[in-house]
Chain A
């Protein structure tokens, strides 16, 4: 599924990711943990192609296809989805208009037909019901006036609707209370599948109680410095990241 080899990423001329190698096979959920400033968000932006995150060396492929040379929207059409740490408010653009435009743009890029308005409305209602997203939220401009928790729920709603193959969840737990965390995690777990994979970026073990990872990686100083099973997250929760200072 996702293969990253010796990836180097500069932001504003400063190297942030320095030789990162990682493989997430189909059907698996991998967690990336690490201290502040380790390059976790940089990795998610570099993979999705944000301007200013320059890949200077190495490769990143999704199902064997190079990602680095593609525009952000082309990567999205290949099935790459980023749940943002800080979802943007887009005033004036109704949520459903935005999502229908996005879904049809992706389908068009893949050579699939457009989803009709009635089909889309049905799909959007079905998904909304599962995630506790209200019709009122869908009628509003995208994320405008939403609480932090509502924005995160909306990210997962978008993810469910767009049905991507590879999902990156960047600190999806931040801003969520316990109840919301449960709803969101259930939504995420429902999207797991044998032909899909996820990269869950988080500071804390708490999210991983709900979204159980197959592998846990520690990112420090721009590289993966440790990898292990779910137990590694528990060990990190107890011991912190201090022991990786030298490794970084």
Chain B
């Protein structure tokens, strides 16, 4: 078979030139040379065309990593910058931090290959006991991040990743092994400007009785894509994924999620909510795959979104693929406009239309943060959503 080698766009060529001379860098280089970045003709990228987003040279990194909220002042901070990796704060017992130049890759797909390739080295967190101090991953504009997390049996870790790039290409690859009875909790805030591209891939494998819980808040960017793959490899493993997206202007945010149930008695809960206005675009692709051995799987996926303007776009692809026969699986998906009757009701009480709209959107979207047990973090997320609503009010 003869494959056409694509002509790389200026943006792709720039990415190619920036790849380090590492094994992962080589793999990314080979992949880019062979097929370029995925475009809309590739099924999984039909609504998020990386090639088009990188048709022009990538703008120089600009912006910041955002402010760490007061509730995280005690956290250990890992800084990921374009020129390297740093560490700030105290480290407790039961946590080992190392860096490695070469690691086999767990993640799969072009985003994972690119993110692994761009990172000159991987940061490895080995967690042997429950950690009460959270770890903040501060992602600076344009930074490549690669993080490998190994949670021993019964270990616990809370991760918060955040970034606030105005411009530049940032990539992230997080690969995690969650041991038996271990818990990994993650909160992500993604916010990028009109010149920022933010691509992340998270791959988590959960052993017997372990759990992965993630709550994300995305405001999009020129293009932002957060891929998550969770494999519930052990029995009675659990996966809770919640997320909210608030998009305005020309923002684009893509949540692509794949959860694989491989062993019996495991549970998945996915709740995603979004609100999109102006000419922004939200993409939600969620697949739950239940393998033959995964009897007594209980999996639910919900995605509900509001279209706040006529020019907005929300693309959704929910998928259930089930090979076991004794399972409970369900998904629900709705896309609608704000309720005119509710708006009028609020205005009749004296609340102006813009404020009424913001209150309704906030109530709708922030419901997904109810899952957050830490009130400080929950308030932070609700506050970010509220600030956004105040900012975009027309």
Is there an interface contact between A101 and B355, defined as CB atoms closer than 8 Å?
A: yes
Is there an interface contact between B349 and A93, defined as CB atoms closer than 8 Å?
A: no
Chain A CB within 8 A of B52 CB? no
0/1 per residue, B261-303, Cβ < 8 Å to A? 0000000000000000000000000000000000000000000
A101–B348 CA distance with the chains assembled, in angstroms: 12
0/1 per residue, B342-356, Cβ < 8 Å to A? 101111111111010
Is there an interface contact between B348 and A92, defined as CB atoms closer than 8 Å?
A: no
A73–B349 CA distance with the chains assembled, in angstroms: 7
Contacts of B373 in A (CB 8 A): none
Which of A11-19, A83-91, A176-184, A232-240 lies at the interface? A83-91
Interface of B is mostly: helix
Of all chain A residues, which has the CB nearest B356?
A73
| CB of B336 to closest CB in A, whole Å | 13
A215–B385 CA distance with the chains assembled, in angstroms: 51
| CB of B293 to closest CB in A, whole Å | 39
Q: Of B345, B349, B359, which is in contact with the most chain A CB atoms at under 10 Å from its CB? A: B349
Return the contact of A48 from the options B342, B348, B366 (Cβ within 8 A). B348
Chain A CB within 8 A of B362 CB? yes
Contacts of B351 in A (CB 8 A): 73, 98, 101-102, 105
Contacts of B71 in A (CB 8 A): none
Chain A CB within 8 A of B363 CB? yes
Chain B CB within 8 A of A50 CB? yes
Given contacts A84-B345, A93-B360, contact A105 B367 (CB under 8 A): no
Is there an interface contact between B350 and A105, defined as CB atoms closer than 8 Å?
A: yes
Contacts of B353 in A (CB 8 A): 71, 73
Is there an interface contact between A72 and B366, defined as CB atoms closer than 8 Å?
A: no
The count of chain B contact residues (Cβ–Cβ below 8 Å) is 22
Contacts of B364 in A (CB 8 A): 91-92
Return the contact of A73 from the options B350, B360, B366 (Cβ within 8 A). B350
Is there an interface contact between A162 and B363, defined as CB atoms closer than 8 Å?
A: no
Is there an interface contact between A71 and B346, defined as CB atoms closer than 8 Å?
A: no
Return the contact of A72 from the options B339, B347, B355 (Cβ within 8 A). B347
A91–B365 CA distance with the chains assembled, in angstroms: 11
A84–B360 CA distance with the chains assembled, in angstroms: 19
Is there an interface contact between A92 and B362, defined as CB atoms closer than 8 Å?
A: yes
Of all chain A residues, which has the CB nearest B364?
A92
Is there an interface contact between A88 and B349, defined as CB atoms closer than 8 Å?
A: no
A158–B363 CA distance with the chains assembled, in angstroms: 20
A99–B346 CA distance with the chains assembled, in angstroms: 10
Is there an interface contact between A102 and B363, defined as CB atoms closer than 8 Å?
A: no
A48–B347 CA distance with the chains assembled, in angstroms: 9
| CB of B114 to closest CB in A, whole Å | 38
Chain B CB within 8 A of A128 CB? no
Is there an interface contact between A73 and B352, defined as CB atoms closer than 8 Å?
A: yes
Return the contact of A77 from the options B339, B342, B346, B350 (Cβ within 8 A). B350
A81–B348 CA distance with the chains assembled, in angstroms: 7
Chain A CB within 8 A of B340 CB? yes
Is there an interface contact between A90 and B367, defined as CB atoms closer than 8 Å?
A: no
Q: Of B339, B352, B355, which is in contact with the most chain A CB atoms at under 10 Å from its CB? A: B352
Chain A CB within 8 A of B334 CB? no
| CB of B167 to closest CB in A, whole Å | 35
A115–B222 CA distance with the chains assembled, in angstroms: 42
Is there an interface contact between B352 and A105, defined as CB atoms closer than 8 Å?
A: yes
Of all chain A residues, which has the CB nearest B363?
A92
Chain B CB within 8 A of A42 CB? no
Given contacts A51-B340, A101-B355, contact A91 B350 (CB under 8 A): no
Contacts of B348 in A (CB 8 A): 48-50, 72-73, 75-76, 81-82, 84
Contacts of A106 in B (CB 8 A): 349-350
A158–B367 CA distance with the chains assembled, in angstroms: 25
Chain A CB within 8 A of B341 CB? yes
Contacts of A51 in B (CB 8 A): 340, 344
| CB of A121 to closest CB in B, whole Å | 18
Is there an interface contact between B360 and A90, defined as CB atoms closer than 8 Å?
A: yes
Is there an interface contact between B350 and A162, defined as CB atoms closer than 8 Å?
A: yes
| CB of A178 to closest CB in B, whole Å | 27
| CB of B279 to closest CB in A, whole Å | 24
Q: Of B340, B347, B360, which is in contact with the most chain A CB atoms at under 10 Å from its CB? A: B347
A/B interface sample: 14 pairs, CB < 8 A? A73-B351, A76-B348, A82-B348, A88-B339, A88-B342, A91-B363, A91-B364, A91-B367, A92-B360, A92-B364, A98-B351, A102-B346, A103-B350, A109-B350
Give B residues with C-beta under 8 Å from A. Answer: 339-342, 344-353, 355, 359-360, 362-364, 366-367
Known: A73-B350, A76-B350, A101-B355. 19 other contacts (CB 8 A): A73-B353, A76-B348, A76-B349, A77-B350, A87-B345, A88-B339, A88-B341, A90-B346, A90-B360, A90-B363, A91-B364, A91-B367, A92-B367, A93-B359, A93-B360, A102-B351, A105-B350, A105-B351, A141-B363
